[in-house]
Amino acid sequence: MRNVAIAVATCWLFAFSRVVFADPAAGEEKADKLCLLCHGASAREGRHYTPVLEGQPQAYFIAQITAYTSGKRTDAMMKTNAASLSAVDAQDIADFFASRKSGSYPGFDLEMAAAGTKTLGQLPCNSCHGSDYSGSGPAARLAGQNPRYTASELRSMRSGKRLHPTGVGADAIKALTDDEINNVAHAFASVD
């Protein structure tokens, strides 16, 4: 029994030291090689359904990497990229993106954002994602997100293809029309 306790304590200390000593500078180098081709400028240009990663909470980022490696989220490129990361790599990259300021998404539609803001007033999104939609812990940053990506993910959640992590917003998402989803996506994009 004592050996088991020592082994558990040793594993815990090893894992804890990895998290405590995560390196955002190393994360930037790793992100530059692996992530920024798709999640850098092209995510901000809106030509693709690629999420903006700047400002994402560390816990959310790590949870998404885990979801891709476990198969809970499906995307061939992301599954391959996530599988290539060690726990330290993932933490370093998560720290790098969490340390970056996102800002509002360039080129969002003002009219759609105004309509989406009205819809957001009736949804419980801010209960988990924060009043400024900046996310926290396992809740994603929605502020400044690529509206094409957000709309696509909301449609996936509405259909049940992607599960909403909590029951809080799941029913509300299922009731949204396509127009409401597009408007809400632009409302999130407009938030700095």
Which pLDDT tens digit goes with each residue over 56-87? Answer: 999 999 999 999 999 999 899 999 999 999 99
User: What residue ranges of the chain are covered by domains with CATH 1.10.760.10?
Assistant: 22-99, 110-190
Q: 3-state DSSP call for residue 161?
A: coil
C-alpha to C-alpha distances, 31 to 67, 96, 98, 110, nearest whole angstrom: 18, 8, 12, 32
Q: Say if CB 66 and CB 4 are below 8 A apart.
A: no
**What percentage of the chain has pLDDT greater than the value 70?**
86
Q: How far apart are CA 146 and CA 189, in angstroms?
A: 6
For residues 125 and 159, give the distance between their C-alpha atoms in angstroms, rounded to a whole number.
18
pLDDT value of position 42: 66
* Mean pLDDT, rounded, for 144-158: 95
Q: Say which DSSP state 46 is in.
A: T
142 in Cβ contact with 133 (< 8 Å): yes
- Please, where are the H alpha helices in 71-166? 76-83, 87-99, 110-120, 126-129, 147-159
* pLDDT of the residue at 10: 40
CATH of domain 110-190: 1.10.760.10
Average pLDDT value for residue range 149-174: 89
> Which of 159, 105, 107, 112 lies closest to 133, judged by CA?
105
The fourth-level CATH superfamily of domain 22-99 is: Cytochrome c-like domain (1.10.760.10)
Q: 16 or 151, which is more confident? A: 151
| Mean pLDDT in residue range 40-65 | 87
